[in-house]
A and B are shown apart, each in its own frame.
Chain A
């Protein structure tokens, strides 16, 4: 069936470090891949959406791409700030039944 695996439960970085979060997916359908971000005390909100393999989605300094060959998609940012502290979810869109399959989330901690 459709699935998403997000292995990094927590990432700790310092300000100005490079961020890279990776997920793998499995689906028999043409995928749409999302990254959602959840700040403390809030619901998740859309950060990026990528619908075409090897095309970049860019928002708020974050970039996302996916690779059909390795069925992986990743989120990166060149220089993180303390305000980026949040939980990041990779999400697979399955339009056969309008379902979103959620990864387990990566908590990003920025050391002051």
Chain B
């Protein structure tokens, strides 16, 4: 069973604050993703990566940076947080591009961010 762990699970910051959300997966998957989930919008892709040092822009990247330091670790950075970034953030990994290549995403439990 794929394991994706996110931290912190809950975070409160103020407008202009600096936030880093962390994600670690332990299944040697190549692809990792950051999504945000908001009522009425479903899941929206922020950034994704297909390996250490790689970064791809998703559908809603403005105000977010990301960095993939190793195959296991993917970070989402909000350097000047705004109230519009209050959301539930999910990290996911996928075996896409490997010999298994089922395309299935494995999600973490989510990180709830509140920007006051």
Contacts of B94 in A (CB 8 A): 98
Decide yes or no whether B74 CB sits under 8 A from chain A.
Answer: no
Decide yes or no whether B107 CB sits under 8 A from chain A.
Answer: yes
Chain B, 1-54, CB within 8 A of any chain A CB: 4, 31, 40-45, 50
Q: Give B35's nearest chain A residue, CB to CB.
A: A102
- Chain A contact residues, majority secondary structure: strand
A93 adjacent to B103 (CB under 8 Å): yes
Determine which residue in A42, A49, A102 has the highest number of CB atoms from chain B within 10 A of its CB, and name it: A102
Contacts of B92 in A (CB 8 A): 43
Decide yes or no whether A34 CB sits under 8 A from chain B.
Answer: yes
Decide yes or no whether B77 CB sits under 8 A from chain A.
Answer: no
Which of B31, B42, B108 sits near A102, CB closer than 8 Å?
B42
Known: A44-B43, A89-B43, A104-B41. A49 touches B110 (CB 8 A): no
A98 to B92 Cα, complex, angstroms: 13
Decide yes or no whether A18 CB sits under 8 A from chain B.
Answer: no
Chain B, 57-111, CB within 8 A of any chain A CB: 90, 92, 94, 96-97, 102-105, 107-110
Shortest A98–chain B CB gap in Å is 4
B50 adjacent to A98 (CB under 8 Å): yes
Contacts of A34 in B (CB 8 A): 103-104
Shortest B57–chain A CB gap in Å is 11
A42 to B50 Cα, complex, angstroms: 24
Q: List 8 A-B contacts (CB under 8 A).
A: A41-B109, A49-B104, A95-B96, A98-B103, A99-B45, A103-B42, A104-B41, A105-B42
Residues on B facing A (Cβ under 8 Å): 4, 31, 40-45, 50, 90, 92, 94, 96-97, 102-105, 107-110
